[in-house]
Amino acid sequence: MSALGNVTKDVVFRFSVAVTNSSQLISDVHLDYNGVVTGAGFSSVVEDVFTGGFGGTLIDQINAFNLGGTNEQLSTAADLPTPEQKIYIEKDVVFGGGADGNQNSSFISIIDQTFSQVPEPSTIFLSFAGLATLLFVKRRK
């Protein structure tokens, strides 16, 4: 995505993310983007994380801004207050040249989105119980 001169562009993406294994809930959201701005150029990615659908309960907001770095790899992340089975993401990408002339520009080449999953406490408990049992049996022999 690019903008040259006195132009501002605003792109909104909406998508949902759900786990396929209900014992592995989504615990955090990571956002990375790579962009170049020159002169008065700027770019930003603001991401809202919801439960209960778009416009539902806002559980976190992630912001990444490039207000003058020539070639920036920007990263930010948010831990969810409670792990979720399904979340809704609304990503607002705003970028522009900021002033007249081709020396004022903004380019975004990569926007990368990742999510981490954490096992439910019962899964962790069962794993430790199994390990303890194996150690006990081995020690008895």
Q: How is the chain split into domains, by residue range?
A: 2-140
Decide if pLDDT at 87 tops 90.
yes
Query: For all residues of the chain together, what is the average pLDDT?
Result: 85
pTM of the model: 0.76
Decide if pLDDT at 17 tops 90.
yes
**Helix, coil or strand: residue 113:** strand
97-120 confidence digits (pLDDT tens)? 888 988 888 888 888 888 988 765
CB-based contact 93:44 (threshold 8 Å): yes
**Token pair of 82, please?**
């409670």
18-32 confidence digits (pLDDT tens)? 998 777 899 999 998
CATH number of 2-140: 2.60.120
| HEC string for 56-91 | CEEEEEEEEEECCCCCEEEEEEEEEEEEECEEEEEE
